[in-house]
Amino acid sequence: MLLSKLFLKSLLLTSALAVVHISPAFADAKDDRIAAMEAQMKIMMEEIQLLKAEKIVEDKEQATLKQQVQAIEEKTDSAIANIAPAAGGGMAYDDGVKVSMKGAAPKITKGDASWQPFGRMHLDAGHINDDAVDHPNSTEFRRARLGAKGKISKDFGYKFEVDFAGNGTSLTDVYLNYVGLDKTDIKIGHFKPAYSLEEMASSNDLSFIERSTAVDSFTSSRKLGVGFNTHDDNWSVAAGMFGGSAGTQSSDDEEYMVSGRVTALPVSEEDKLVHVGASASYRSPDQANDTFDFDARAENRLQVVDSVSAVITDADNAQVYGLEAAASLGSFHAQGEYLITNVNNQAGNDPTFAGGYGQVSWFATGEHRPYSASKGAFAAPKIARPFDLSQGDWGALELAARYSHLDLNDGGITGGEINNMTLGANWYLNDNIRFLANYIIVDTDNNAVTPNDDPQIAIIRSQMKF
């Protein structure tokens, strides 16, 4: 604007000079007037030069400011890059700590060490159509667990888990493991002995709310001990030596067990898999009471008493054997096991108990159960279309049926016989949440805890894991 005004002044002065030169009336005074105008022109030219200098300074200041802004932006971009999610969704910090998401829980890593929380919640509710005895309709937290797992150093890992269900606390998996050998895991602590296809599967991943009666009766709970597992893509071998459970004490030599399991995949293709396996264990009872107790409920935990129970109070030892097989063809899955227990007792009648189950399941939405070669067991499916009403997705639906049998009558021991038929449906909202429904038809004999008690049981479960 100022330059425009100066230009206008210059134009007016030029016009005035022209008038002076062409008008005779001003001839006598033209020299003085011209001199005055030239002086004014000189002043204006000096003002123009000053403005040009100021413009140059302003341009330099703007260039400097631009450089400063650019430097700040570069520093900001560098800082953001240092905390931006890395591969796997992680964030790195200056002290070398990396935080990433693995499943639904964060994983913290620094060097070779790592820590990740995990947990599960299983809430059951059920109705029992009573037969020979009154069973309660009830609700309960079947499991409410929290824990952490990870690595302490390059070759050593750990797991620690506590269950808060039942208005108390109990230890589940608590162990240190060595993973420095290829495809081999060596554990010391409190964990499951290797035995049974259904037992090795996580309770989060079962097709039914509870394991079958035979597996529930003949397999062992977590014990203190040492064990190893080695595997390849198509086979696994696991074995261990164990004492009693955590939190138990004995006034004499405590129980001990040697257990082992082998598995193989004679068929392993992209959409077709066949699994076979065998288990064996030798068990010695606690010397303070020499007792084995084989019992089971009707594949639920709402009952307050067992359905069948064989208690042997003069036991020397027991040998438990199991055979297992499974096949998956796309979204169809079938599996079964047969288990037998030979008990040697002081009376010499040496009873033999047996049981087994067969089950089938099918994903109506096309999912399939993945297989873990290291565990020799099946896991939960990866949900193709997680629940999202805005997208019209409803998750996954699995339909299942199972028949199970357990006979605890032999050698003068009348523990009872039970046969169950279970129909199930599982609705997976996503990889971490599902709802289960089971309907169980029970048939027991006259040696059962309550003779010929044949209730029908409906149970639902809300399950969350992370």
- 66-94 confidence digits (pLDDT tens): 777 777 777 766 665 555 444 445 666 66
In contact, 98 and 92? CB cutoff 8 Å: yes
| Residue 93 tokens, joined | 């910090």
**In the predicted model, is pLDDT for residue 440 greater than 60?**
yes
What is the CA angle 72-78-80, rounded to 5? 100
> Which range is least confidently modeled, 84-93, 170-179, 350-359?
84-93
User: In which band, very low, low, confident or very high, does the pLDDT at 386 lie, cut at 50, 70 and 90?
Assistant: very high
User: In which band, very low, low, confident or very high, does the pLDDT at 44 lie, cut at 50, 70 and 90?
Assistant: confident
pLDDT at 95: 82
Using DSSP, state whether 4 is helix, strand or coil.
helix
Please identify, among 37, 61, 81, the residue that sits at the C-terminal boundary of a domain: 81
Q: Between residues 338 and 1, which one has the greater pLDDT?
A: 338
Distance from C-alpha of 160 to C-alpha of 148, rounded to nearest angstrom: 5
- Same domain? For 61 and 169 the reply is no
CB atoms within 10 A of CB 451: 12
pLDDT at 49: 76
Is residue 177 a part of any domain in this protein? Answer: yes
Is residue 92 a part of any domain in this protein? Answer: no
pLDDT at 249: 85
Cα torsion through 344, 345, 348, 354, rounded to 10: -50
The tally of domains found in the chain comes to: 2
**In the predicted model, is pLDDT for residue 6 greater than 50?**
no
- Same domain? For 139 and 49 the reply is no
What is the CA angle 417-423-428, rounded to 5? 135
User: In which band, very low, low, confident or very high, does the pLDDT at 299 lie, cut at 50, 70 and 90?
Assistant: very high
**Average pLDDT score over residue span 343-353:** 96
pLDDT at 56: 72
CATH code assigned at 430: 2.40.160.10
DSSP labels for 82-126?
Answer: HHS-BTTTBEE-TTSEEEEEETTEEEEEETTEEEEEEEEEEEEEE
pLDDT at 78: 64
- Same domain? For 409 and 458 the reply is yes
**Over the stretch 179-225, which tens digit does the pLDDT of each residue have?**
999 999 999 999 999 999 999 999 999 999 999 999 999 998 899 99
What is the percent of the chain where pLDDT is above 90? 76
**Over the stretch 275-294, which tens digit does the pLDDT of each residue have?**
999 999 999 999 999 999 99
Please identify, among 56, 81, 106, the residue that sits at the C-terminal boundary of a domain: 81
> Which range is least confidently modeled, 172-181, 244-253, 290-299, 424-433?
244-253
pLDDT at 1: 52
Is residue 348 a part of any domain in this protein? Answer: yes
pLDDT at 91: 67
pTM: predicted TM-score of the whole model, two decimal places: 0.79
| Residue 138 tokens, joined | 């009830």
Q: Which residues, including other chains, have CB under 8 Å from residue 230's CB and lie 6 or more apart? A: 181, 183, 184, 185, 236, 237, 238
Q: Which residues, including other chains, have CB under 8 Å from residue 137's CB and lie 6 or more apart? A: 126, 127, 128, 302
pLDDT at 63: 74
pLDDT at 212: 98
Is residue 100 a part of any domain in this protein? Answer: no
pLDDT at 92: 64
Is residue 90 a part of any domain in this protein? Answer: no
- Same domain? For 75 and 149 the reply is no
- Same domain? For 209 and 305 the reply is yes
pLDDT at 80: 56
**In the predicted model, is pLDDT for residue 126 greater than 60?**
yes
- Same domain? For 68 and 151 the reply is no
- Same domain? For 244 and 172 the reply is yes
Q: Between residues 220 and 51, which one has the greater pLDDT?
A: 220
Is residue 309 a part of any domain in this protein? Answer: yes
pLDDT at 7: 47
pLDDT at 267: 97
What is the percent of the chain where pLDDT is above 70? 87
pLDDT at 37: 74
Is residue 264 a part of any domain in this protein? Answer: yes
- Same domain? For 293 and 382 the reply is yes
**Average pLDDT score over residue span 258-279:** 96
- Same domain? For 229 and 122 the reply is yes
- Same domain? For 70 and 132 the reply is no
**Residue 63 belongs to what domain range?**
2-81
The rounded mean pLDDT for the chain is: 89
**Over the stretch 139-171, which tens digit does the pLDDT of each residue have?**
999 999 999 999 999 999 999 999 999 888 999
- Same domain? For 296 and 218 the reply is yes
- Same domain? For 159 and 253 the reply is yes
Is residue 459 a part of any domain in this protein? Answer: yes
Q: Between residues 386 and 23, which one has the greater pLDDT?
A: 386
Distance from C-alpha of 312 to C-alpha of 285, rounded to nearest angstrom: 10
pLDDT at 143: 97
Q: Contacts by 2-8 with C-beta closer than 8 Å and gap 24+?
A: 2/51, 3/48, 3/51, 6/44, 6/47, 6/48, 6/51
